[in-house]
Amino acid sequence: PRLAVIVVAAGSGTRLAAGGPKAFVGIDDRSILHHALRGVFDAPEAQVVVVAPAGREGDALTEVAATAGDRLDRVTVVVGGDTRQASVAAGLDALWADVEVVLVHDAARALTPPEVFSRVVAAIDAGAAAAVPALPVVDTVKRVADGRVVASVDRSDLVAAQTPQGFRRDILASAYAAAQADFTDDAALVADRGETVVVVAGDDRAFKITTPADLLRARALLEDAPL
């Protein structure tokens, strides 16, 4: 297929502190990875690369088998690395030759609605090299040094980036091939190479499950609107 989705799920979930890798922590009776994959398989036809923690490939495959339906033959499971960036790089290595557009998605954004995927793909189809979903920043943001506020940052031109982030494959691959520093998201890495990254509307439900409070929020959302 022309499109691929790399689902990074290899993190250890230190902040969630649930006793094991975050991807396999339950939200309801299903895991974070299970819910994330459901969303991915709702998106348009794509190769799906699941990046799993070392030693947990079998568990990742179990979640794939439970969610992929007739798309099972388009799924690849690979092992991730010590950083998110290393995990994305492992996913990139597994892309099929015909893939031209790549979405990189955090498994931890398990409840991301399909519309977000559609908006990102539409931006790339319209000619963007890179596109990220984002939401306005709601908090008042301060720059701090030595425990003191040194500046109040105008939030009107700030957004919080989410995933899936979309890229033309050639641009993402060459940015990764040239990467020196560690970046916190793929858009930063591509922007550092001078590429323009366009912003599309994010969604509240695409929040990242990071802390125990986030897990409770995800659980509550599923109770209101079971998927």
| Residue number with CB closer to Mg ion (23 or 46) | 23
Q: Kindly identify the residues of this chain, within the stretch 8-37, that bind Mg ion according to CB under 5 A.
A: 11
Question: Left if phi > 0, otherwise alpha if psi is -120 to 50, otherwise beta: which for 147?
Answer: left
Distance CA 74, CA 46 (A): 7
3-state helix vs strand vs coil in the chain, percent to 5: 40, 25, 35
Query: Which residue, 42 or 194, has its beta carbon nearer to ligand CTP?
Result: 42
Beta 47-52 vs 3-8: how paired, if at all?
Answer: parallel
The footprint of Mg ion on this chain (CB under 5 A) covers a number of residues equal to 1
Q: Which is nearer to ligand CTP, 13 or 133 (CB)?
A: 13
Neighbours of 163 (CB within 10 A): 27
Q: How far is the first Cα of the chain from the last one, in angstroms, to the nearest whole number? A: 27
Q: Which does 9 bind (CB under 5 to 8 A by kind): ligand CTP, Mg ion, none?
A: ligand CTP
Closest residue to Mg ion, judged by C-beta, is 11
CB of 121 to ligand CTP, least distance (A): 20
Per-residue binding letters, 176-205, with Mg ion (x by CB under 5 A): ------------------------------
Nearest CB to Mg ion, comparing residues 11 and 133 = 11
Q: Packing angle between helix 32-42 and helix 212-224, nearest 10 degrees?
A: 50
- Contact residues: ligand CTP, CB under 6 A: 8-15, 22-23, 51, 80-84, 87, 106-108, 208, 210
Q: At its nearest, how many Å lie between ligand CTP and the CB of residue 87?
A: 3
Radius of gyration of the chain measured on its C-alpha atoms? 17
Residue 55: C-alpha distances to residues 80, 101, 217, 224 (Å): 10, 29, 29, 35
Closer by beta carbon to Mg ion, 99 or else 164:
164
Q: Min. distance of Cβ 102 from ligand CTP in angstroms?
A: 15
**Binding footprint of Mg ion on the chain (CB under 5 A):** 11
